[in-house]
Structure 1
Amino acid sequence: MTFSEWLREQCEPEWTAVVTHPFAMAINRGEADMRHYLVQDFQFVDAFTALLGAAVANADTFEARVPYGKFLGQVATTEEKTYFHRAIEELGAEEEPPTQVTRDFQDLMAEVRTSQDYGKIVAVLCVAEWTYLGWASRAEHPLPDSWVHREWIELHEGPEFRAWVDFLRGELDRQEPRDELLEVFRRAVELERRFFDEA
């Protein structure tokens, strides 16, 4: 068992509650009301971008820095950012302040970013991306007719995203196991579950 697999196992049943969450399954069916969810999720983009920058700065090899830099460019300038703007406009969603769980997740990202602890940074990134692959990979084809749901699924599934998650898991597997990494990983999983609960 790899270290990332062990971390995931230690977070049961929370992990399964996230990747099979009723709201996530509703996204997969094209039935979820995405307005509040996307407005809150969009508020993570800045903190997530900063966390990717911290990963670039604190990675211990050049080979590790490159995938972070590539993904950082994608988040900041291309598909995902464009999706948020188009989807929020399509849904007629209005700006709203961050909820408590959104603030808590932003705080965790800021905490691990400022720690400059590469293992903690990877742990939070891995949870964020691996859990989303977990629910999106459960979508049945054909995907929903609604482009808001379909494109959100497609952003978190497919060969490129799977390769990205595999990279993050590989980086986590290279870390020396320690209690602090399990604590951070578990907190991130709990926040993902709370975020879906609220949605």
Structure 2
Amino acid sequence: MQMNTDIKQHSHTERLFASATDVWQAMQEHRFVVDIERDRLPADSFARYLSYEGRFVETAMAIFGYALVKADTIAHKHWLIGVLNALSTEQVPYFERTLAALGLPASHIDAPLPVPVTAFDSGMLEIARQRTYEEVIVSMLAAEWMYGTWCTRANQTPSSNPFVREWVALHAEPTFLNQVQWLKDQVNGWSEQRFDFARSSAIFRKVLALEIDFHSACYAA
């Protein structure tokens, strides 16, 4: 009885975090993150990463599109429209500009993707298509909370690579961190009946595991 009382004293996001500390820490200590923090990420690895991430933007737009359709209030729909606008007017131009500056050939758009990259893409899209609004929000919370955390840390010691530096800064600025906070507020605002902890925790962990494999793929030759 006491145990149930203790659980209710914690927010939904605190419970999610506590249920995934192993995969969360594995991502925070990932080679990709550490290499950026120590200003030693190989340029070719970052170029591969950006080419993978750039192709994921379209999927991210679809994910938030599903969330928009499933959202239950006009306020939530309004916010999600803003997210979609930011993806199309800020992130898409960033990738177009940066990939061109890195001299990546146009053929990279049609190049086969590594299995971990396609697994991340299809896994996230499957959640958006088949799961509830709440579960879609939890999936994006896992990804964006993770990014906001390590990028805020890495942004304190900016990389000497201007492309890396800009990418990190994009995920440490108020606009992105406000989005992370919005996702947290969404989850924490749900009633106990609406928040399915078991399903949400499984999705939270799954997304972090997919992120780990995704970020490892950029080191492959």
Match of 2:64 in 1: 52
Structure 2 SS opposite 1:15: helix
| Superposed CA offset, 1:161-185 (max 9, x none) | 1111010111122241332221111
How does the TM-score come out when normalised to structure 2?
0.82
Give the length in aligned residue pairs.
Answer: 198
Q: Cα distance, 1:55 vs. partner? A: 1.2
Do the aligned partners of residues 55 and 140 (structure 1) sit closer, same or farther apart at CA in structure 2, a change above 3 Å counting?
closer
Do the aligned partners of residues 15 and 142 (structure 1) sit closer, same or farther apart at CA in structure 2, a change above 3 Å counting?
closer
How does the TM-score come out when normalised to structure 1?
0.91
Q: 1:73 aligns with which of 77, 85, 95?
A: 85
Question: For the Cα contact (< 8 Å) 2:37–2:157, is it kept in 1?
Answer: no
Question: For the Cα contact (< 8 Å) 1:29–1:143, is it kept in 2?
Answer: no
| Superposed CA offset, 1:58-82 (max 9, x none) | 112222222211011011122x211
* Structure 2 unmatched ranges of 5 or more: 1-9
* Structure 1 unmatched ranges of 5 or more: none
Q: 2:19 aligns with which of 10, 13, 32?
A: 10
Distance in 2, matches of 1:164 and 1:140, equals 18
Structure 2 SS opposite 1:13: helix
The two structures, once aligned, show a CA RMSD in angstroms of 1.7
Structure 2 SS opposite 1:157: coil
Matched to 1:93, the amino acid is L
Question: For the Cα contact (< 8 Å) 1:51–1:113, is it kept in 2?
Answer: yes
Q: Does 1:89 align with 2:100?
A: yes
Distance in 2, matches of 1:122 and 1:137, equals 21
Match of 1:189 in 2: 208
Distance in 1, matches of 2:93 and 2:38, equals 23
Which segments of structure 1 move beyond 4 Å, counting only runs of 4 or more?
Answer: none
Match of 2:3 in 1: none
Distance in 2, matches of 1:13 and 1:86, equals 36
Distance in 2, matches of 1:167 and 1:140, equals 21
Residue correspondence of structure 1 range 1-150 to structure 2 within 5 A: 1-32=10-41, 33=43, 34-78=46-90, 80-94=91-105, 95=108, 96-141=111-156, 143-150=158-165
Larger radius of gyration: 2
Identity across the alignment (%): 26
Question: For the Cα contact (< 8 Å) 1:3–1:177, is it kept in 2?
Answer: no
Distance in 1, matches of 2:97 and 2:58, equals 18
Q: Say which is worse superposed, 95-104 or 139-148, in terms of deviation.
A: 139-148
Structure 1 SS opposite 2:61: helix
